[in-house]
Amino acid sequence: MKKIVIFASGSGTNAENIIKYFVKTKIGTVAAVFTNNPSAKVIDRAKNYYVATEIFSKAELIEGEVLQKINNIQPDWIVLAGFLLKFPENIIAAYPNKIINIHPALLPKYGGKGMYGMNIHKAIVGNKEKETGITIHYVNENYDEGNIIFQQSVILTGDETPEEVAAKIHELEQKYFPEVIEKLLAN
């Protein structure tokens, strides 16, 4: 069975959805959830499914301690699901084309430093975009610039609030993120 490690910084709804999805499959399992936020709700979500959690500091991420812990697990894939720190080059180099991220917009639009969560949805509403969506992409040394694996869009009517846009995006994330991970595990 293939092993997945998830990195998350916040509530962990995508992480929990991925954990639940792979509980029902024979192809993979979530071996651990890593977070840089000691008060993140993702910790409780992971523990509810008996998934190991690792809490780390930014210094531990940069200085290689997190890479050591990842290497001890030997994951097949690393999945960023609402992870807000820039992913370090030492981990990217150790796991080339084995790290993916989900972004709540159609890249290359609305990507880069500071473009996460409600910041993106407010910008999309403010710019009166006709559509938005999700992008699942490989992680490289630059924010949101890795090769795109999958995109799914949703039409906007023009009168949504940022919160309503966020809800539409969340539906796409919940449906497609685990399916795309499963396809990557199968290859």
101 labelled binding-site residue: yes
Name the average pLDDT for the chain.
Answer: 96
How high is the pLDDT of residue 182? 98
- Annotated active-site residue 103? The verdict is yes
Q: For 134-171, what is each residue's pLDDT tens digit?
A: 999 999 999 899 999 999 999 999 999 999 999 999 99
- Tallying the residues shown for the chain, one arrives at 187
pLDDT (tens digit per residue) in 36-45 = 999 999 999 9
Using the Cα atoms of residue 52, residue 60, residue 3 and residue 152 in order, give the sign of their dihedral. Answer: positive
Identify the active-site residue in 103, 121, 137, 170: 103
CA distance 181 to 39: 27
Which domains can be identified in the chain, with CATH numbers? 2-186 (3.40.50.170)
| pLDDT one-digit tens code per residue, 59-83 | 999 999 999 999 999 999 999 999 9
Q: Is 58 annotated as belonging to a binding site?
A: yes
Q: In terms of pTM, does the model score above 0.85? A: yes
Nearest to 79 by CA among 187, 182, 170: 182
13 annotated ligand binder: yes
Q: What angle do CA 156, 165, 176 make, to 5 degrees?
A: 95
User: Would you say 29 is a known binding-site residue?
Assistant: no
122 contacts 162 by C-beta, under 8 angstroms: yes
The answer on whether 71 is annotated among ligand-binding residues is no
